[in-house]
Structure 1
Amino acid sequence: MKVLVTGGAGYIGSHTTYCLLRAGHEVVVFDNLVNSSAASLDRVQDLAGRSIDFRRGDLLDPDAIERVLGEAAFDAVVHFAGLKAVGESVQNPLMYYRNNVVGTLNLLDAMENAAVRTLVFSSSATVYGASSDMPLLEEAPINATNPYGRTKQQIEDILTDLTASDRRWSVALLRYFNPAGAHESGRIGEDPQGVPNNLVPFVAQVAVGRHEKVRVFGKDYPTPDGTGVRDYIHVMDLAEGHLAALQFLNSATGIFRWNLGTGRGSSVLEVIQKFSEAAGCAIPHEFVDRRPGDAAVSYADPSAALADLGWSADRDLAQMCHDHWRWQKSNPMGYSEALGTP
């Protein structure tokens, strides 16, 4: 298949692009490089032994995405492009709605014009909001509690209405939980811009000396050790889930929703302990007040993905931490210190 990957130079996008290449697909990456690096694609090509056609562009430029989709006969699109920091979305909601929702509308218009109607969409478990019913099932009500999550929810609604109006569309909504880890080579991994918003990359940067300590938000949750519990999924398992969804859509029409998670929760202190073991040193941390809106526990029921796609997460938390540390130790400043090198 010929696949367009929007946001393909980013963390999850680059690992998925690697899996697509390894599976024999032809890949074109469309990315504005605002929160990513072209160096990731150089390394993906090196690891996969195959080339990527990279087009730098922004989904807010309708002509740019129209040109790319109009140049060749694509079979499908995997859509990662978007802003993803919850805190930033609260501070600048208009930027998030414009970038994520309007950008997706531009992509869908261009796909329709090019008669490309197969889409795997990078959604998020944030659409479930503050649900207390665990594990989370795809049938659970969605009620995102921040602008970032609401952009994902709005895009899901748009895609639901689109597929209801035109049965030629094949769409997968992948609601994934907390990505962590890196390719086992340590060549590609997560390189957040600025201070990381998520736990594992922040722990990794503490371990490599870029930050002094990890702040643990809350120690009095109703969990075994008092800290929040989340479902962490290895980024390679996540990438393989996108590949499985794409294969499923090749012979199905309509809209499908799948959780991509392990079905198991790990606490903040468990993550810190496992990463300490991987790094061979204690990770300093301190307890601070809870953050408003944080749930005590959140983890997936991934049984639908297993039943429909034959997919399940195979890598555990220890492997996530070892692989993430291998990447961070080899690239302490991320891609910035090796731009332009494979």
Structure 2
Amino acid sequence: MLANLMREREPGDRIILAGRSSLPTHIDVENCKLDLLDSESVERLIQSLVPTHILHLAAVSSVHQAANSPAQTWHNNVGGLLNLCTAVTKYAAGAQFIFISSGEVYGRAFLAGDSLTEDTIPLPANLYARTKRAGEFLVADILGSTSTSYVILRPFNHIGPGQDERFVIASFAGQIARIEVGLAAPVVEVGDLSAQRDFLDVEDVTNAYRAVVDASDKLPQTAIFNVSSGNARSIDQLLVMLKKHANVNFEIRLSPDRMRPAEIPFAAGNPTALIEAVGWKPSIPIETTIHRILHAARLRINQSTSD
């Protein structure tokens, strides 16, 4: 993400990464500790920076984690956003605000079996999705009454190196990496493999975010875009790809703890609007993504065993 934002910077541009904990960044990126739930701190930061572009990604982002901590998820995903939008209306009303929502907001609308466009009425089917949909309304209601332009992006399932093993493909890769070095029996535990999802490489997703920032002067005052490929692949297909890249054979075993049958069997988004608006389109083959994920998992496991 940072590498993409660093491209073609104008003289004097500053990139500030704000979050609860300090993160490793590029030497030219400033790191600022910020708790979005602390409204006074948020206001002080926005007032001091007067940012021109705000990319809001902070959230409880795991559907499973959100379901297990509903009050905290609503507090984080909506409360922090409310504080940020309020501060923007006071001190940076001329900024472009980019809210990272989720393709999950479409929910039961996916039961139509088509790749959905932004004109589809969202029918969120889980708690995480409901907080993201609420965030969309919040942004529209608060920022829509000011001169702040805003873009709501709905990224679909994105995967890539370093993703937390709470997410399904990262979990498979981590299990395989441990099997390869003898830390686990040759068994990969899985849940429901039949669900079909619109998977994107995380680099393609961050390229989309950068493209929206670059095109800010050309976009309408308000806009909503899917960040998607338009194609759905089953989780089983991706596991087969991982198995092809693995250095060992292993058994695939259904685990009751991982069995959460998909209420939505098919989910894909039509990316045409974003392609036409900013010229972005996904470019990284899924096989390349799978190879990168497994390679990163191996490096992580090898590092942990050598420490």
Q: Quickly say closer, same or farther: Cα 1:330–1:288, change in 2 above 3 A.
A: closer
The within-5 A match list for 1:9-88 is 16-24=1-9, 25-33=13-21, 38-39=23-24, 41=25, 45=26, 50-88=27-65
1:97 alignment counterpart: 74
- Structure-1 separation of matches of 2:189 and 2:153: 30
Contact 1:163/1:255 (<8 A) preserved: no
- Structure-2 separation of matches of 1:200 and 1:124: 18
Structure 2 segments unaligned to the other structure (5+ residues): none
Give the one of 153, 162, 165 matched to 1:174. Answer: 153
1:122 alignment counterpart: 100
Q: Quickly say closer, same or farther: Cα 1:318–1:282, change in 2 above 3 A.
A: farther
- Structure-2 separation of matches of 1:139 and 1:152: 17
3-state secondary structure, aligned to 1:54: strand
3-state secondary structure, aligned to 1:208: helix
Contact 2:159/2:200 (<8 A) preserved: yes
Q: Does 1:266 align with 2:251?
A: no
Match of 2:98, as an amino acid?
A: V
3-state secondary structure, aligned to 2:260: coil
Give the one of 237, 249, 271 matched to 2:216. Answer: 249
Q: Displacement, 1:173?
A: 1.0
- Structure-1 separation of matches of 2:138 and 2:184: 40
The within-5 A match list for 1:122-141 is 122-131=100-109, 132-133=111-112, 134-141=114-121
Match of 1:143, as an amino acid?
A: L
Structure 1 segments unaligned to the other structure (5+ residues): 1-15, 183-188, 220-226
Aligned-residue RMSD, C-alpha: 2.4
- Structure-1 separation of matches of 2:129 and 2:302: 29
TM-score by length of 2: 0.87
3-state secondary structure, aligned to 2:108: coil
The alignment of Structure 1 onto Structure 2 pairs a total of residues equal to 294
The within-5 A match list for 1:223-242 is 227-242=194-209
Q: Quickly say closer, same or farther: Cα 1:293–1:309, change in 2 above 3 A.
A: same
Give the one of 131, 146, 160 matched to 2:140. Answer: 160
Q: Quickly say closer, same or farther: Cα 1:85–1:52, change in 2 above 3 A.
A: same
Q: Displacement, 1:160?
A: 2.0
1:11 alignment counterpart: none
Q: Displacement, 1:326?
A: 2.4
3-state secondary structure, aligned to 1:165: coil
1:312 alignment counterpart: 281
Larger Rg: 2
2:84 alignment counterpart: 107
- Structure-2 separation of matches of 1:293 and 1:67: 43
Please identify, of 244-253 and 264-273, the stretch whose mean Cα deviation from structure 2 is larger. 244-253
Q: Quickly say closer, same or farther: Cα 1:86–1:171, change in 2 above 3 A.
A: same
Contact 1:60/1:106 (<8 A) preserved: yes
Match of 1:119, as an amino acid?
A: F
